Amino acid sequence: MNEYSNPKQVHPPLGAYSHTVKVPPNATWLILSGQVGVNASGKLQTGMRRQAEQVFRNILACLRANRMRKEDLVKLVVYLIDSRLIEEYRAARTKMLGTDVVPASTLLIIDGLANPDMLIEVEAWAAKG
């Protein structure tokens, strides 16, 4: 089982994440390409909230396809095109992952993504011991 922790020598997390995640020896790793708000039929969802929820649906589908669960997530890298979208992202993440899943996480504000209508992309790493 992955071990999530927040060392006392480091400030408390500023959001729903852990400062460290220790993965057990011989764990199976799964690394997901950046997921965007495009559904299985290829349609980009409209608006930040819908795109973010679709991103997490895609991540959860990738985990299930590899016999993993959201609890196996160990790292997220989130790319947003505007800092004003952070709260909507956080609300979508909480809706889709709950509050108990707290992988290590990095959030970046960038100039744009591959499609100018895309507002968010999330890379994910998972490990199952």
* pTM (global) more than 0.85: yes
Tell me the pLDDT tens digit for each residue of 69-95: 999 999 999 999 999 999 999 999 999
Contact 52, 88 (CB under 8 A): yes
Residue 24 has pLDDT above 90, yes or no: yes
Contact 79, 50 (CB under 8 A): no
Q: What pLDDT is stored for residue 129 in this prediction?
A: 87
CATH homologous superfamily of 28-128 equals RutC-like (3.30.1330.40)
**What's the pLDDT band for 128 if we cut at 50, 70, 90?**
very high
Among candidate residues 60, 110, 100, 52, the one with its CA nearest the CA of residue 80:
110
Q: What pLDDT is stored for residue 12 in this prediction?
A: 93
Which sequence spans correspond to the domains of the chain? 28-128
